[in-house]
Chain A
């Protein structure tokens, strides 16, 4: 048992290192490895296959972002961490859509002490970030064209200024740049207005 968990931890550490360096195959391996666990858990707790997929992708995203930032402090195995995150996420969705107030989940004992995994804090952080992204997405929609595609092209899709100049039909890169800064000031107003209000 001890040997098992220590080898598992070693394998986890290896996997995390690989994912942090941007290895897509490692992420894919991790994704496949823990999918049956989460899908089983959600299906067992009155969820559908689609619910399971949503919850799992959300959970993996939290994990992945923490790994990429290098701020993941893992005190347990990856599968326990993922189980805890997905469990929390699913509980939240269930409570939201359920008329019954007390929702009780059937747990798999194999994935053991899912509390104190640090998952709660990470999730809260992720939710805060989600809220920020939602506000940003809304602000971008309100911004209108051509500001939106200009900013999205530059910041979100990492296009070069030259490409964008050609795409939007500006006479030169400087005009495009000036336009971009103007758009940014407008976006700033929209974003901070609704973000602080929320």
Chain B
């Protein structure tokens, strides 16, 4: 197996004495969909925030393609080709869908310290924006305000905005959260499509979706990694059954 795309070593995040992420080490391989599952409060979102630079780790090391990301701010990590979506929809509600994606695409200019040429006249950004909207099936909402489209579409828009930055690694934090059945199916299809030429790290509570999408699973409990393996291995693991999947089944 070739060298992993992203390596997390002994990563910890300490919030005033609470270890939200506790000495986590995971290898994320190129071109895989790697899902992180676990009960609420397991530290999954904190882990994603550490990877994206929204939070700085207390200890440990993150390496992306041999570059040390550990203390990089979020904008620099984004520039390296790591895009993320948030658990709670995080878009620009007063912008149109087009403007949302446009801003993402524009971030790939060498600089946006450009003052005179109208933003409309950058052909490459136009193309990137259009592609990103089309990938998520949002062409019909180009001119609609982001606040006016449905919740499911807003989730798609957030992904579309991230795609406009042309990332090779996507960090998706509960992309299916709060969605209806048909929206969920659409999103699963989209993620499958994106996975064809991108690496994806996915946090998700919907176990059917996780097992449909993931190549590798990591189970987290109380800030620690409990197990990592293929979906089959995880399904069969007694530890995981006890800690997590079992209770999930009973709830159904």
Co-assembled chains A and B? no
Please give the residue numbers on chain A whose beta carbons come within 8 Å of chain B beta carbons, in ascending order.
none
